[in-house]
Amino acid sequence: MNTDKTPIEKQLWENWFSTHDSNAANELIKNYMYLVNFHVERIATHLPKNVNKDDLKSFGLMGLYDAVKKFESSRDLKFDTYASFRVRGAIIDGLRKEDWLPRSIREKTKKIEQVSGHLEQVHQRTPSSNEIAKELNMTAQEVETYTKDSLFANVLSIEEKSKDGHSDHKEGIGYAIADHISASPDNHLTTSETNKELAKSIKLLNVNEQLVISLFYNEELTLTEIGQVLDLTTSRISQIHKKAIFKLKKTLAKVHR
């Protein structure tokens, strides 16, 4: 068992491994509940306000319980790390199944994609959010927000393999997200192509956009924390984030045409 556990945590794990009863599991879940709350708050920042955090918490609790049941103390892996992947994966998987994106947002997103495609053909270049907004009688911020919501709904992970390429434990976002729907070879190829294009597109973002995407999704800093790192206001970081997501969404739309 890991030696960096507190005496209380060690006792809780000893109780669980010796009894495997519901009371021991419940005590462990209470002790690690902060992981669920952490990931609920992080994921909720990407979602429309209509999404109920209690639902996210329920998904996360299922992931935490699953982590407790499947954790092997003999592995050289902290439970906090293992459980974080399970919790985040369960929340994302729950969002997939619940289809949380409201129909109104899906309809507006579809219109944005249609207008964007039309403007691209007319001008022979990728249209800006301002140009799309003008056609749809929206604000540029609305266009970028709807695009961000749609991106999160359709592409919930970016694969990032472990650095040494040999570890049994994959630490990339993509490996942390459970997907119990068997993918056909065609779907697998499509997903692989999407990830490749997305990775290429990230490299084409400007320096600040790449930093914000990396710090937000990989390092899991808040927008305020990123602002402190880059010496920019939180509102400015939010703008950079939205513009970067908008550009990435455009890439994904091209891949799936």
Rounded to a whole number of angstroms, the CA Rg of the chain reads 21
pLDDT at 254: 66
Q: Residue 166: inside a domain, yes or no?
A: no
Residue 38 maps to a domain: yes
Indicate whether 74 belongs to any domain. yes
Residue 209 CB contacts under 8 Å (≥ 6 apart), including other chains = 240, 243, 244, 247
The answer to whether position 171 is within a domain reads: no
Q: Is residue 199 part of a domain?
A: yes
Residues 6+ apart with CB under 8 A from 112: 132, 136, 143, 146, 147, 150
Q: Which of 61, 79, 98 is the last residue of a domain?
A: 98
Q: Has residue 32 been placed in a domain?
A: yes
Which residues, given as ranges, of the chain have pLDDT below 50? 1-3, 155-190
C-alpha–C-alpha distance, residues 115 and 126, integer Å: 11
- What pTM was estimated for this model as a whole? 0.52
Last residue of a domain, one of 66, 98, 130: 98
Q: Quick check: is 221 in a domain?
A: yes
End position of a domain, from candidates 45, 64, 98: 98
Residue 147, domain member (yes or no) = no
* Structural domain that includes position 201: 185-257
What CATH number does the domain containing 190 carry? 1.10.10.10
The total number of structural domains in the chain stands at: 2
- CATH number for the domain that contains residue 40: 1.10.1740.10
What is the reported pLDDT for 60?
A: 93
